[in-house]
Structure 1
Amino acid sequence: MAIFSGKKASDFSIDPFTDLLFNGLLTFTFLLLIALLLLNPPAKSGIIDPKAEFMITASWPDNDPNDIDTWVEGPGNKTVWFKHTQDGLMHLDRDDRGLANDMQLIDGREVINPLNQEIVTIRGRPAGEFTVNIHYYRSTNGREVPVTVYLAEVNPKLKVLHYATTTLRREGEEKTAVRFTILPNGKVSEVNTLQRSLVKGGKL
């Protein structure tokens, strides 16, 4: 028979507040460990360098086989496109060719990446005008393609400057999706869609 030195059994009951506090501490510790693991994730291919001031994405419907190209011209006639992926502070981080090269081998199985998207980053604020054009480089089915262009200022906080969809109707067609100017003080002005050709042989 157990002896409790004269103390009552109720003296050994657990205080509900203490139990709640202990459980809260365990939860906080678990979440802290998860956060520490996420701070240093394993390296992955295709990750965009976050050190950008502006990001431009051009996307068209998933699984669409047609090849759409993005051209961006900045101050001093600096231009990026699929054959010239870096010029000054502009970088073509992702060149998408429709379904071409979208096949990946994963665990011995062929998997198709359905996403059609090109990404251009501007890693600074050079003063001058920027022109963003989309070009229907090659068609495999002869169909028109709706292309959505998204322009965002990402530093110091995300600000959407332009978001619109433009339809390219035939191979070789080129359209200006958006133009904007960075002022000497770093601010953006004069966002518009005035048409201007960048692609030799393009049709505006």
Structure 2
Amino acid sequence: MRRSRRASREPEVDPFYDMLFNMLIAFVFCFIVALLAMNPQKTKAGDVPAKAEYIVTLSWPDNDPNDLDAWVQGPNGDVVWFRQREAGLLHLDRDDRGVSNDTIVVDGRRIVNPINQEVVTLRGIAPGEYVVNVHYYDGSKNQRTEPGAGGPVAATVSVVKVNPRAEVVFHGTQTLAGPGTEVTMVRFTVQADGGATNINTMPKALVKRI
């Protein structure tokens, strides 16, 4: 009976194998730590590259069918607009054409994005004066048939300094009377340290010079 009970028991694990298994776990752990040490994650504020220094946003009422365009001139005289989406450090990230590009068809259903907004970013510090204008584009015949097309539109422009923290440099609204209207929303000067000064709304035409 004693022999049968001893034979039915599972064989004991050799301590040598336990030691090998523990050594393997330790080796894997040390390897992972070494990898992390060679490729440290950059968590400091200055280590993460910024995508923009300034963000200029043009918006007008939701569902408005009209097309407003942002025109931004940099210190070197180059202008960003819908046919010139990059000029130096200035980039037109979004061109909104009112009702023209706000509608898509999915599974036979018409889906409308009501938000009207254009975004221009300054992706670096280039000292000098910047001019932000809004132009009321004379849309296509199809666009003019939409209710409210061709009427006055209230345009709102905000200029936000992004780094090292978000700071509203300018926020204002002007009404554009009709197609062809151009208004200067704001002019400001970026200093070498990234700060903004000389904020004003003195008119300067940009559309006619293109």
* TM-score normalised by the chain length of structure 1: 0.72
Superposition RMSD in Å: 1.8
Q: How far apart, CA to CA, are the structure 2 residues paired with 1:186 and 1:120?
A: 17
1:95-134 alignment, distance < 5 Å? 95-134=95-134
Structure with greater helix share of residues: 2
Give distance in 1, aligned partners of 2:186 and 2:204.
10
Letter in 1 for 2:187: R
Task: Give the residue type in structure 1 aligned to 2:201.
Answer: T
Moved more, 191-200 or 138-147: 138-147
**Matched residue SS, 1:100:** helix
Query: What residue identity is the alignment partner of 1:173?
Result: T
Structure 1 position 50, deviation (Å): 6.2
- Which residue matches 2:154? 146
Q: Which of these residues, 164, 170, 182, is aligned with residue 172 of structure 2?
A: 164
What's the CA shift string for 1:25-69, capped at 9, x where partnerless? xxxxxxxxxxxxxxxxxxxxxxxx961000000000111111101
Instruction: Find out whether 1:173 has 2:181 as its counterpart.
Output: yes
Q: Which whole-Å CA distance do the structure 1 matches of 2:54 and 2:95 have between them?
A: 17
Q: Structure 1 unaligned segments of length 5 or more: list them.
A: 1-48
After the TM superposition, list the runs of 4 or more consecutive aligned residues in structure 1 that deviate by more than 3 angstroms. Answer: none
- 1:64-79 equivalences under 5 Å are 64-79=64-79
CA distance in 1, matches of 2:209, 2:100: 23
Q: Amino acid of the residue matched to residue 127 of structure 1?
A: P
Q: Shift of residue 110 of structure 1?
A: 1.7
Q: Which has the larger radius of gyration?
A: 2
* Contact 1:68-1:138 at 8 Å conserved across structures: no
After TM superposition, give the deviation of residue 107 of structure 1 in Å: 4.5
Aligned residues: 154
The one-letter amino acid paired with 1:146 is A
Deviation of 1:200 (Å): 1.1
Identity of aligned residues (%): 49
